[in-house]
């Protein structure tokens, strides 16, 4: 498993629990609605983070190759 994927999974799990708590406390939504929101939004963020990390890693490795 790549570092990018592992970091993305850990981030997503933490984000899920934080999102449920925030939605429930801030909006007073039911646990069911907060869970749906907490599933959809972090999955989109996880995809974005994975792509961002891959692009950055590629940029960083190309930049270091140009030094030599």
The predicted model gives 11-40 an average pLDDT of 92
pLDDT value, residue 17: 92
pLDDT classification of 12: cutoffs 50, 70, 90? confident
The predicted model gives 4-30 an average pLDDT of 92
pLDDT digits (tens, 9 = 90+) for 30-47: 999 999 998 888 789 889
The span from the CA of 29 to the CA of 5, in Å, is 31
The answer, as to whether pTM is greater than 0.75, is no
Look-up of token digits 């961002």:
52
The span from the CA of 13 to the CA of 31, in Å, is 17
Query: Domain extents for the chain?
Result: 3-59
């Amino acid at each position: 498993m790549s570092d990018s994927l592992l970091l993305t999974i850990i981030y997503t799990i933490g984000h899920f629990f934080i999102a449920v708590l925030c939605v429930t406390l801030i909006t007073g939504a039911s646990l069911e609605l907060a869970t749906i929101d907490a599933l959809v939004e972090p999955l989109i963020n996880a995809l974005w983070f994975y792509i961002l990390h891959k692009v950055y890693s590629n940029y960083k490795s190309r930049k270091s190759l140009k030094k030599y």
